[in-house]
């Protein structure tokens, strides 16, 4: 059963080696994810991870693994008609994967 009445960002993680930033979200009813950053936007995908918990993996695809493509901050915001929640990651400082979670 999908939980109703909330929207939450669980974690945001850099994956420099595969050129992406992942944002794990939960929420019900259906949620939308908006990425914000100072600079160009990249392709985004959304994949259901757990239907019972309404958990989605939202990926911001970055075309290269150049450190300057990760400059600045990235904001993953999840929203639905019940609320909004967001998490910011950055600025990026090393070539190791970094994880921010609540």
pLDDT of residue 100: 47
For the chain, give every domain's residue range.
Answer: 6-90
pLDDT digits (tens, 9 = 90+) for 23-43: 999 988 888 898 887 666 677
Confidence of residue 67 (pLDDT cuts 50, 70, 90): low
Helix (H) / strand (E) element for 15: namely strand 6-15
pTM exceeds 0.75 for this model: no
Query: Given a cut of 50, is residue 79 above it in pLDDT?
Result: yes
Half-sphere exposure in the Cβ direction for 71 (13 Å, CA): 7
Query: Given a cut of 80, is residue 97 above it in pLDDT?
Result: no
- The CATH superfamily holding the domain 6-90 is Immunoglobulins (2.60.40.10)
pLDDT of residue 96: 45
**Residues 6+ positions from 66 with CB-CB distance below 8 Å:** none
pLDDT of residue 84: 92
Query: Given a cut of 70, is residue 4 above it in pLDDT?
Result: no
Counting residues of the chain whose pLDDT is more than 90, the rounded percentage is 19
């Amino acid at each position: 059963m999908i939980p109703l009445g909330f929207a939450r960002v669980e974690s945001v993680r850099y994956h420099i080696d595969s050129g992406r930033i992942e944002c794990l979200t939960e929420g019900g009813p259906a949620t939308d994810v908006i990425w914000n950053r100072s600079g160009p936007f990249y392709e985004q995908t959304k994949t259901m991870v757990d239907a019972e918990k309404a958990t989605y993996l939202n990926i911001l695809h970055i075309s290269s693994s150049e450190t300057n493509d990760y400059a600045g901050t990235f904001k993953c915001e999840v929203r639905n008609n019940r609320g909004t929640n967001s998490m910011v990651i950055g600025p990026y400082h090393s070539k190791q994967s970094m994880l921010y979670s609540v």
